[in-house]
Amino acid sequence: MSQPANLSPAAFQRLSKLLSCSTAPFREQHVIREVEAQLSSAKIPWFVDEHGNRVVGVGSAREYRTLLKQRNKEPVRVFIAHMDHPGFHGVTWLSARRLAVRW
């Protein structure tokens, strides 16, 4: 993979490490470990909520609830990412053992 011109070398390295992690449904632990390592290395606060989601930008559920209650000109932004699949969808079964997919 070649580095896009608009991406710094450090950002490209972080992205490359993340994208090189193997993943599959219910087997996202490699991606999770890499995300957690990168957040911790960058000293970005995060925590795991009661559903197993990584909440980034605050270090605890209490901090998160406090943030949500504050009035501010800037909204709280939420980003959601699936970490447990390689990004394809099963389209139709071609046979008992073959599935057509869309990437």
pLDDT by residue (tens digit) across 61-86? Answer: 999 999 988 988 888 887 777 787 65
Cβ contact 67:58 at 8 Å = yes
36 vs 96, residue with greater confidence: 36
pLDDT given for residue 87 in this prediction: 61
pLDDT given for residue 101 in this prediction: 79
Reported as a single tens digit per residue, the pLDDT across 14-69 is: 988 988 888 877 788 999 999 999 999 999 999 999 998 999 999 999 999 999 88
Cβ contact 99:90 at 8 Å = yes
pLDDT given for residue 39 in this prediction: 96
Does residue 88 surpass a pLDDT of 80?
no
- pTM for this entry: 0.72
CA-based max dimension of the chain: 56
pLDDT given for residue 25 in this prediction: 79
Residue 55, helix vs strand vs coil? strand
Cβ contact 86:24 at 8 Å = yes
Count of Cβ atoms closer than 10 Å to residue 26 Cβ: 8
pLDDT given for residue 63 in this prediction: 95
- The H-or-E segment that residue 38 falls in is helix 29-41
pLDDT given for residue 90 in this prediction: 72
